[in-house]
Amino acid sequence: MLVVDGTAQGRVPDELQRVIFETAGRDNSVARQLILVSRNVRTWIEPILYECIKIRSQQHAEAFFKTIAVRPQGFFGPIVTSLAIGDSVTLQQSKAILAACSQNLVNFAVYTNARNPSIFLPFVRSHSVRQLSLKSTHCAELSFPPALLASLSHLMILDGPYSWFQMREAVRNAKNAIKSGCPSTTAHSFLSLTHFATCSQNWGSTQPLLKLAAKLRYFVVVVPPCSKAAPVIAQRILEIGDRRMVLVEYSPTIENWESSMRGSMPSVWERAEKLVEDGYFAENVDVRKWNL
């Protein structure tokens, strides 16, 4: 017999109850039911429920502000580690959300069409962001706070077309360093970067990262499922011959981002790592494995 918050003989110790409920609470739909069981269970489960948050729209943002208002001040800052902001969330709303939730962020994502996704980055308060995903069809000039860019191990930039200030500066400085014989310092911008992903229309302009990012192990080209461009890109990767490059088919939606954060589907990074480990450079094309 499992007795929660009771005194019956055979009562399960609080420590074991907590492990049981926290394990079950990793399923987001289950977690929303478990918080109704008791006050203790709610205390255990709420940090799990809110460690990954997606705000899709202005309406979702307004609903979330009501949730913030009934929680103690500073409640969300320590527990939110993954946050995604959707297309119609206003900049003003985003500032308020980031002020409340970004102190301990490790994973941050922006999914927008009409705006430059990098305008949100200066308002991130965490110094521990390791994974950043930006998706926008806006013709954007991307610019990253230097400390944020230097801390990233995983960076995904999809759609566009875009230009990237730090990339241009790094390439220019690297060329000048070669001419002058002095070491380039701009590579420090990518000091922690091990995983990079981009889309098919921008992968050519971002290939300098293969030389600029000393720790880069995976350069991922993302295409939609069943993309007609996949065989052409796969052939080009084969011709380039850099075994850090890999082609992955993926639908970059905010829902898929959340699913990968919560572990209910493999992330782009996990799939790329598995392909490279197994000697492949692409998924679902005729020629997709490196020759030994």
pLDDT tens digits, 52-71: 999 999 999 999 999 999 88
Q: Which positions ≥6 away from 31 have C-beta within 8 Å?
A: 24, 25, 45, 48, 49
Q: Contact, 290 vs 243, CB < 8 A?
A: yes
| 68 token code pair | 């913030």
Question: pTM for the whole thing?
Answer: 0.85
Rounded Cα distance between 58 and 92, Å, is 10
3-state DSSP assignment of residue 282: strand
Crossing angle for the helix pair 39-49 and 14-24, to the nearest 10 degrees = 40
Rounded Cα distance between 259 and 256, Å, is 5
Average pLDDT over residues 238-256: 94
Rounded Cα distance between 282 and 230, Å, is 8
Rounded Cα distance between 156 and 195, Å, is 8
Average pLDDT over residues 115-124: 93
Listed in order, strand segments (DSSP E) in the chain are 52-55, 82-85, 107-111, 131-136, 140-142, 154-159, 162-164, 195-199, 218-223, 245-249
Q: Contact, 128 vs 106, CB < 8 A?
A: yes
3-state DSSP assignment of residue 93: helix
Q: What is the pLDDT at residue 231?
A: 92
Q: How far apart are the first and last CA of the chain?
A: 58
Q: What is the pLDDT at residue 205?
A: 84
Q: What is the pLDDT at residue 78?
A: 92
Tell me which residue of 49, 128, 66, 131 sits closest to 100, measured CA to CA: 66
b/e 266-290 (16+ beta carbons within 10 angstroms → b): ebbbebbbebbeeebbbbebeebee
b/e 9-44 (16+ beta carbons within 10 angstroms → b): eeeeeeeebbeebbeebeeeeebeebbeeeeebeeb
**pLDDT score of 96 more than 90:** yes
Q: What is the pLDDT at residue 62?
A: 97
Average pLDDT over residues 94-101: 96
Angle at 103 between CA 215 and CA 142, to 5 degrees: 50
Rounded Cα distance between 142 and 161, Å, is 11
Q: How far is CA 292 from CA 14, 52, 220, 243, 289, in A?
A: 55, 41, 21, 11, 9
Q: Contact, 90 vs 56, CB < 8 A?
A: no
Q: Decide the pairing of beta strands 52-55 and 195-199.
A: unpaired
Return the residue matching tokens 């889309």.
Answer: 199
Percent of the chain scoring above 90 in pLDDT: 52
Q: Which residue has the higher pLDDT, 189 or 108?
A: 108
Residue at 81: amino acid letter: T
| Average pLDDT of every residue of the chain | 84
| 284 token code pair | 């679902």
